[in-house]
Structure 1
Amino acid sequence: MSKHQGSCRCGLISAESSGEPVWQSYCHCRDCRKQTGAPVMAYVGFRKDDLTWFGEPKTWRGAGGVERSFCGHCGSQIGYTDVRLPEEVYLALGFMDEPERYPPTSHAFVARQLPFLHMTDDLRRFDGVSVKRSQS
């Protein structure tokens, strides 16, 4: 089993997972676009119990029970948690030290994909969420 590591731009916040990713996806929702300032977000999910944090990310409550995290010093986006997925943490690919190791395997919220963004891959597409959530 290999380690999976990530850090913010300034290095004050980092994380390491001893477990393998549980999900890798693009997200086209408005909340992710607003959070990242990009037309699409890419992320990798890990089991919360497999992650070890070094430093304390700042957080704020986003839409729909999602809590977004970022570095309070450099502002780097770290990722998010969702109250309906209490055992998982989703990290922005830009936070990962080797993002090329985590190619997305699907697209979430393609119904909200920007019309000028053309992604011609053969990945599975979901009109809404790509990871099933509880009804909490």
Structure 2
Amino acid sequence: MRTEPFLRSYCHCRDCRKQTGAPLMAFVAWRETEIAWFGTPKTFRSGGVERSFCEHCGSQIGYRDDLLPGDLYFALGFMDEPERYPPTLHAFEKRRLPFVHMDDGLPHLDGFSIERQPEQRN
């Protein structure tokens, strides 16, 4: 990456838990224009979100959200040096599983970590 991510977050929502198969997701986000791909990831599209995977090992790479055009969200566990991108907040705190305890002093939001564009209705 040529720049720093504009967002580094934990997410406790059900979609992220299901996507990762873990009790929460940690992710980093860059603008699409700041990313250079080496190859083309495999993708799966559902519900306004396109998820990408490594075609060799099946690892989750990340996702695009139709309501956040131009942004790419990468699973922190996919990164070669995840320690470079520590999360700075928690999203969907009210959906956090009761056995997950993280006393890290970060802000805890009740909803999304970033504002979405309004849905376009045709």
> What is the TM-score of this pair, normalised by structure 2?
0.92
The unaligned stretches of length 5 or more in structure 2 are none
Contact 1:106 1:124 (C-alpha < 8 Å) held by counterparts: yes
Aligned partners of 2:94, 2:14: CA distance in 1, in Å?
Answer: 11
The unaligned stretches of length 5 or more in structure 1 are 1-16
Letter matched to residue 76 of structure 1: S
Give the aligned partner of residue 99 of structure 1. 82
Identical residues among aligned pairs (%): 64
Report the CA distance between 1:19 and its aligned residue: 2.0
Counterpart check, 1:20 vs 2:4: yes
> What is the TM-score of this pair, normalised by structure 1?
0.83
Aligned partners of 1:80, 1:36: CA distance in 2, in Å?
Answer: 11
Q: 2:37 aligns with which of 53, 66, 72?
A: 53
More strand by share: 1
Contact 1:80 1:89 (C-alpha < 8 Å) held by counterparts: yes
Q: Deviations over 1:7-47 (max 9, x none)?
A: xxxxxxxxxx2122110000111111111111010001011
Counterpart check, 1:41 vs 2:4: no
Q: Secondary structure at the match of 1:45?
A: strand
Aligned partners of 1:49, 1:132: CA distance in 2, in Å?
Answer: 20
Counterpart check, 1:111 vs 2:100: no
Displaced runs of 4 or more, over 6 A: none
